């Protein structure tokens, strides 16, 4: 497994830990006022986001809590990253980039909710968005690098 693939898997594993923390935080109100864990002020506040009524998707009584999507998304990325990393030795940007762009489009919706509707930011949520953006960057970088199996400095004519 090359360095990009390892970095990708590590970022996705960190995403699992953050999603677990997010779920724990939302379910138990661990970030209750006064704890300082996730509530910096009224604008930077997990609690304000959690209490906004916009914590399920699709919105409404039959939606899943947002943290559940992280608990599905990041393990899926770890599994695919390990599978492709072991199978091909590299990160398969042509597979991961379209998948991660779906996640990035979803984060645009979440940014809209936090900034435009709720008027509060959840640092834990944002950390998951940033992890997805970093994973997207690694997938894009894997597409820009030399083809897998190609040695640096060698060409078919020199063989």
Which pLDDT value is given to residue 116? 96
Which of 60 and 8 is assigned the larger pLDDT?
8
Say whether the peptide bond before residue 147 is cis (omega within 30 degrees of 0).
no
Percent of the chain with pLDDT over 70: 86
Q: What is the mean pLDDT of residues 133-148?
A: 86
Which of 147 and 59 is assigned the larger pLDDT?
59
* Mean residue pLDDT across the chain: 86
Distance CA 78, CA 8 (A): 8
- In this prediction the pTM is 0.84
- 112-135 residue pLDDT tens: 999 999 999 999 999 999 999 999
The full DSSP string for the chain is --HHHHHHHHHHHHHHHHHHHHHHHHHHTTT-TTS-SSBSSSSBBHHHHHTTT--EESSSTTPEEHHHHHHHHHHHHHHHHHHHHHHHSS--HHHHHHHHHHHHHHHHHHHIIIIIII--B-HHHHHHHHHHHHHHHHHHHHHHSPPTTPPTT--GGG-
Instruction: Name all domains of the chain by residue range, CATH numbers in brackets.
Output: 3-144 (1.20.1440.130)
Which pLDDT value is given to residue 154? 41
- 90-100 residue pLDDT tens: 899 999 999 99
- Which of 3-17, 20-34, 59-73, 138-152 is predicted most confidently? 3-17
pLDDT bracket for residue 25 (50, 70, 90): confident
């Amino acid at each position: 497994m090359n360095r990009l693939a390892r970095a990708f898997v590590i970022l996705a594993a960190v995403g699992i830990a953050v999603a677990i923390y997010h779920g724990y935080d939302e379910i138990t109100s661990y970030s209750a006022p006064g704890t300082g864990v996730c509530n910096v002020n009224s604008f930077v506040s997990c609690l304000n986001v959690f209490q906004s009524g916009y914590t399920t998707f699709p919105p409404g009584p039959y939606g899943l809590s947002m943290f559940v999507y992280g608990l599905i998304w990041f393990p899926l990325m770890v599994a695919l990253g390990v599978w492709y990393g072991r199978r091909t030795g590299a990160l398969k940007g042509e597979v991961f980039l379209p998948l991660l762009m779906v996640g990035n489009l979803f984060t645009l919706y979440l940014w809209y909710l936090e900034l435009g509707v709720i008027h509060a930011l959840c640092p834990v949520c944002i950390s998951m968005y940033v992890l997805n953006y970093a994973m997207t960057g690694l997938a894009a970088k894997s597409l820009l690098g030399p083809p897998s199996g190609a040695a640096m400095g060698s060409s078919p004519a020199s063989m």
